[in-house]
A = this chain, B = another copy of it.
Amino acid sequence: MKMKNWLNVDDHHNFSMYNLPFGMFHRNGPTPGVAIGDYIIDLRFCAEKSLLSSLSFDTNVFSQPVLNDFIATGKSNWSALRKWLQEQLSDANSALAQNQNEALVDRPKAKFYVPVHIGDYTDFYSSIEHATNVGKMFRDPENALLPNWRHLPVGYHGRASSIVISGTDVRRPNGQTKPPGSDAPVFGPSKRLDYELEMAFIVGSENKLGEPIPVDKAEEHIFGMVVFNDWSARDIQTWEYVPLGPFLAKNFASTISPWIVTMEALEPFRTGSVEQNPPVLPYLQQTGNHNFDIQLEVSLTPEGGEESSICHSNFKYMYWSMAQQLAHHTVNGCNVRIGDMMASGTISGPDNGSFGSMLELSWGGKNQIVLKDGQSRTFIEDGDTITMKAACKNENFTVGFGECSGKILPALR
Contacts and interface: CB of A to CB of B under 8 A. Distances in A.
A155 interface: yes
Contact of A187 (B148, B210, B281): B281
Contact of A251 (B281, B282, B334): B334
A254 to B, nearest CB: 11
A148 B119 CA distance: 30
Nearest to A146: B242
Contacts of A239: 148
Interface stretch (A37-45, A157-165, A304-312, A379-387): A157-165
A157 B158 contact: yes
A204 to B, nearest CB: 15
A375 to B, nearest CB: 26
Contacts of A333: 162, 171, 173-174, 252-253, 412
B244 A243 contact: no
A340 to B, nearest CB: 7
Interface stretch (A47-55, A91-99, A267-275, A324-332): A324-332
A84 to B, nearest CB: 32
Interface in A160-192: 160-162, 164, 171, 173-176, 178, 184-187
A212 interface: yes
B278 A155 contact: no
A248 B119 contact: no
Total identical chains = 2
A248 B328 contact: yes
A171 to B, nearest CB: 4
Nearest to A185: B151
Interface in A345-378: none
B161 A334 contact: yes
Secondary structure at the A interface, as helix, strand, loop or mixed, is loop
Contact of A240 (B148, B184, B243, B412): B148
Interface centre among A156, A186, A412 (most CB of B within 10 A): A156
B412 A155 contact: no
Given A154-B244, A162-B209, A233 B148 contact: no
Nearest to A335: B161
Interface string A244-266: 11111001110000000000000
A368 B251 CA distance: 41
A152 interface: yes
A336 interface: yes
A253 B253 CA distance: 27
Given A281-B176, A333-B171, A120 B159 contact: yes
9 tightest Cβ-Cβ pairs between the two chains A and B: A245-B245, A173-B332, A156-B244, A157-B157, A244-B245, A252-B332, A171-B210, A248-B332, A251-B334
